[in-house]
Amino acid sequence: MQLQFLGATGTVTGSKYLLTHQGRRVLVDCGLFQGYKQLRLRNWEPLPFDVAALDAVVLTHAHLDHSGYLPLLVRHGFRGRIFATPGTQELCRIMLPDSGRIQEEDAEHANRHGHSKHTPALPLYTEADAFRALELFDTRRLHEPFEPAPGMRVELLRAGHLLGSAMVRLRYGDSTLLFSGDLGRPHDLLMQPPEAPGQADFLVVESTYGDRCHDAVDPVEQLGAVVRRVAQRGGVIVVPAFTVGRTQTLLHCLARLKASGGIPAALPVYLNSPMAVDATEIYRRHAAEHRLSHEECAAMFGVASMVNTVEQSKALNLRKGPMLIIAGSGMATGGRVIHHLKAFAPDPNNAIVLTGFQAGGTRGAAILAGAESIKIHGEYVPVRAEVVSLSNLSSHADRDEMLAWLRGFEAPPRRTFITHGEPAAADALRHRIEEQLRWHCRVPAYLETAALDPTGGA
């Protein structure tokens, strides 16, 4: 078995792992690179293998850094099957076409306003490309064995990160390879905890928060304090949020706060993402995967006014506070939230609330680092609004939660590969694992290939 790392090395984006075994090829995850320009440019480069000869793709979950390259893969000739859980397939049905539309809208906006170096600016892929990719999905439930290619037997395990998210356990010959995917938290507000890992000869594990622990605070109370403070001064709270996962957590927190009197019941809350409305409905249909009751799902769905049209979105920017706006994307890389940041970031009465990991090179990372201005549509926008980070709303396991999960292995893996983390986080987790668990670890480089030797080496 050959394992090549085509993404999520030195970064938390672009997850792609190519497996080659007995002439067959399977890709685990197929994500977009985000953040720094040199990473985003990789999305435009050809993949280092014959896409048309690829047998299958297996997805861990629906977030675009794990699924967002699929429309390009299909455009370049892939015609195999895309295996995913039912939850992941349903979320991809709304996320991938939305991503294609945003690509097209951003290219059209750049051409209309002339702020691109390319003439004309082109979308990375289109909505039509996304729909073609969706035709290739083949769902598998957790613990339902299948063969994405002859000689490779796969089982999906609950990862607890997002609706439908899964670990990928792959067996070949007498050996086992486990991909953690993005690993959830044991006490997440919404999701059920990740399963115990069991046994694996080789492990590929994420390291998003490999160098830190989440704040030991109640995220509901923390959010309530921010909202009360900004509402009292008549400000606008802009929350960039991942449309799937983080948005539903935020809506649940806001519903609890309004019900308990923790924030003003009359405070206008706007959900500016038609896709998030669809995603929230999917949570109702997959109640077994999360902790919310039917009543809590209904409260989550009803706490915000839904913003559907572009005209309604633009009108929000002309309103006065107090109000709270949730809009995608979570790292402010695109979508409607950047228009709200353009309108509200310059006012010190307002606040920008960041609710998850901010990858290097994104607007969210710049805002978190205290940037005085951010570039939007070719011009620099001052950031005078209060900036608040609610790290405890993250759906990624932190360092200690990750180590606790790793201790659940029945025996140490022969080799552990640490991916999906910024360099400092990945290396910190490597050091902790080697020091505390005495496992053999490696942080692979981009395009590196490892031979997974069933006789004991790698």
pLDDT at 88 > cutoff 90:
yes
Give yes or no: residues 436 and 320 share one domain. no
Number of structural domains, the chain?
2
The pLDDT of residue 110 is 82
Residue 457 maps to a domain? no
Q: Please state, in angstroms and rounded to a whole number, the distance separating the CA atoms of residues 238 and 326.
A: 6
Give yes or no: residues 135 and 25 share one domain. yes
Q: Average pLDDT in the 160-180 region? A: 97
Show the domain range for 55. Answer: 2-212+395-451
Query: How far from chain centre, in Å, is Cα 26?
Result: 22
**Cβ atoms within 10 Å of 194's Cβ, excluding its own:** 26
Residue 287 maps to a domain? yes
pLDDT at 371 > cutoff 80:
yes
Give yes or no: residues 325 and 412 share one domain. no
Give yes or no: residues 439 and 312 share one domain. no
The pLDDT of residue 216 is 85
The whole model's pTM is what? 0.91
Asked if residue 188 lies in contact with residue 395, where contact means CB atoms within 8 angstroms, the answer is: yes
The pLDDT of residue 456 is 53
Residue 418 has phi, psi (to 5 degrees) of -105, 120
Give yes or no: residues 288 and 365 share one domain. yes
Give yes or no: residues 177 and 320 share one domain. no
Give yes or no: residues 413 and 435 share one domain. yes
Higher pLDDT, 302 or 366: 366
Give yes or no: residues 108 and 170 share one domain. yes
First to last CA, the chain: 10
Give yes or no: residues 159 and 84 share one domain. yes
Residue 271 maps to a domain? yes
What's the angle, vertex CA 55, arms to CA 53 and CA 57, rounded to 5?
Answer: 120
Higher pLDDT, 277 or 412: 412
The pLDDT of residue 455 is 66
CATH number for position 299:
3.40.50.10890
Q: Please state, in angstroms and rounded to a whole number, the distance separating the CA atoms of residues 60 and 137.
A: 13
**Final residue belonging to a domain, choices 346, 373, 393:** 393
Give yes or no: residues 251 and 181 share one domain. no
pLDDT at 150 > cutoff 60:
yes
pLDDT category of residue 425 using cuts at 50, 70 and 90: very high
Give yes or no: residues 197 and 86 share one domain. yes
Length of the chain: 458
Residue 34 maps to a domain? yes
The 10s digit of each residue's pLDDT in 220-233 is 999 999 999 999 99
Query: How many CA within 13 A on the CB side of residue 118?
Result: 10
Give yes or no: residues 108 and 94 share one domain. yes
The pLDDT of residue 38 is 95
pLDDT category of residue 284 using cuts at 50, 70 and 90: confident
The 10s digit of each residue's pLDDT in 434-452 is 999 999 999 999 999 999 9
Side chain identity, residue 259: A
CATH number for position 423:
3.60.15.10
The strands making up 441-442's β-sheet, listed across from edge to edge, are 146-149, 152-158, 166-172, 175-179, 202-206, 415-419, 441-442
The 10s digit of each residue's pLDDT in 232-275 is 999 999 999 877 788 889 999 999 999 999 999 999 999 997 77
pLDDT at 151 > cutoff 80:
yes
